[in-house]
Structure 1
Amino acid sequence: MSVFDEAVRALREWQHDDQPFQLHPGDLGWYRRFGAKSAEDAVRVWRADGEIVAVGLLDGADLLRFTIAPERRQDAELAARLADDVCTPERGVLPSGTVYVESPRGTRFQELMFARGWQSDVPWTPLRLDLGAQLLDPDVSIDVIGHDQADVHAGVIRASFEKSTFTEERWHAMAVGSPYAEARSLVALERGVAVAAIVVWSAGPGRPGLIEPMGVHRDHRGKGFGTAITIAGAAALRELGSSSAIVCTPSSNAGAVATYRAAGFTALPEVHDQRRDQYC
């Protein structure tokens, strides 16, 4: 089994509704769009007694998205080991210069990073929807996308984000990765035209599922299609057995926060990445 697939398996086991927002197997699944080698190279794992106790995803050159096994989050020895690795550019986890770490709030690791001079960065808003409750009606036609319609889904995502590089080829690369076995790609249609798209990722029955990404085509905004595709995505996660749907968006993106609220999501307390401008 590859390190990437080992990390996905560990992350699935660590997802629980009573845990703070954290790295999800769907995050690795979405990164898989860059191909198997790039995904493998971006994953970092830490082990103790042969078991994975922490997983990181180097999401770009300067951001480590990171989580720790729930039972080890107050382990001072592990926190020191992780902080040493993250803070030392020579160890190859993060480069020198300004860098960022996303990790669950309330861990010994996060406390230690603050003590070493890391600072809070801009706020993000996590949102959650209990899938045991009644869902709203999307009130729009929804297609589940397979390999033969990858270009449609990729085209909407690309038209939803200014700097998106998502293509049909990258959709296929994503869809052959192990996380996609428990994922769905959907598009919303208006008079046969694809106007919004979403990918949802299950972590297994009874565990929270992730939305990553959701977008509305730039030519079709302001008509409720973001809310509609989000509701459809939540319904797909419920069919996959997920207990809840979760998503995290920059707090500055008021439109996205409003869209998720309109779909029935509840905003949770804001979270912050940690930033280092100088060496620890």
Structure 2
Amino acid sequence: MGTPAPGTRIAAVGPQRAHVLTAAQRAAREGARFTDERPHAMAAGLPYQDARCLVAFDDHGAAVAAVTVWSAGPGRPGLLEPTGVHREHRRHGHGTAITPAAAAALREPGAPAAAAALREPGSSSAIVCTPSSGAGAVAGYRPAGRRKLPEARDRYRDA
């Protein structure tokens, strides 16, 4: 747990490499609409002030997984979403590697060097929120040290 798959390299990506992030997210989800403009729009918003994006690369340099790490500030929980592993690179440990790397980047001073840009947030913990209907996502978080909590439903008002 937390050890990258052999040959996996995890790096923080900034605006100049947004296309790498969005390509990995599109490859992780059927019908995903992650455009290259989306990370730039996210980065322009106030919530992104303490957020960062990580991408996992395999030993051939291909982007195989991605995650956005959101911090609510020092001492508060951080959120790892969306997390995705390229459909053609699943079951090789890339998701299991990127999830704890992202969590460590939120809260641990000794986080991997690749996550150096993410050490500042100082979050108290790292959480994920994924629909329980996403069996693959739920199953994918378990090997990365996440545990399933009781289901919580969002509240909404009918229009």
- Amino acid of the residue matched to residue 157 of structure 1? Q
Which of 137, 144, 160 is the equivalent residue of 2:3? 137
Task: List per-residue Cα deviations over 1:95-132 (Å, max 9, x = no partner).
Answer: xxxxxxxxxxxxxxxxxxxxxxxxxxxxxxxxxxxxxx
Q: Which residue of 1 aligns with 2:30?
A: 162
Percent identity of the aligned residues? Answer: 60
SS in 1 for 2:130: strand
Cα distance, 1:221 vs structure 2: 1.3
Listed as ranges, the gaps of 5+ residues in structure 2 are 108-118
2:89 aligned with 1:223: no
Alpha-carbon distance in structure 1 between the residues aligned to 2:4 and 2:15: 24
- Amino acid of the residue matched to residue 209 of structure 1? G
Alpha-carbon distance in structure 2 between the residues aligned to 1:213 and 1:250: 12
TM-score (norm 2): 0.82
2:131 aligned with 1:262: no
Q: Which residue of 2 aligns with 1:195?
A: 64
Q: 1:143·1:188 contact (CA, 8 Å) conserved in 2?
A: yes
- Amino acid of the residue matched to residue 129 of structure 2? C
Q: Which residue of 1 aligns with 2:111?
A: none
Listed as ranges, the gaps of 5+ residues in structure 1 are 1-134
Cα distance, 1:274 vs structure 2: 5.1
TM-score (norm 1): 0.48
SS in 2 for 1:250: coil
* C-alpha RMSD over aligned residues: 1.9
Cα distance, 1:257 vs structure 2: 1.5
Alpha-carbon distance in structure 2 between the residues aligned to 1:146 and 1:274: 34
Query: Aligned pair in 2 of structure 1 residues 167, 276: CA closer, same or farther (>3 Å)?
Result: closer
Task: List per-residue Cα deviations over 1:194-226 (Å, max 9, x = no partner).
Answer: 100000100001000011100111121121211
- Amino acid of the residue matched to residue 30 of structure 2? E
- Amino acid of the residue matched to residue 52 of structure 2? R
Q: How many residues align?
A: 144
Query: Aligned pair in 2 of structure 1 residues 151, 266: CA closer, same or farther (>3 Å)?
Result: same
Q: Counterparts in 2 of 1:77-156, with a 5 A limit?
A: 136-139=2-5, 140-156=8-24
- Amino acid of the residue matched to residue 254 of structure 1? A
- Amino acid of the residue matched to residue 97 of structure 2? A
Q: Counterparts in 2 of 1:179-258, with a 5 A limit?
A: 179-191=47-59, 192-238=61-107, 239=119, 240-258=121-139
- Amino acid of the residue matched to residue 213 of structure 1? P
Query: Aligned pair in 2 of structure 1 residues 275, 207: CA closer, same or farther (>3 Å)?
Result: closer
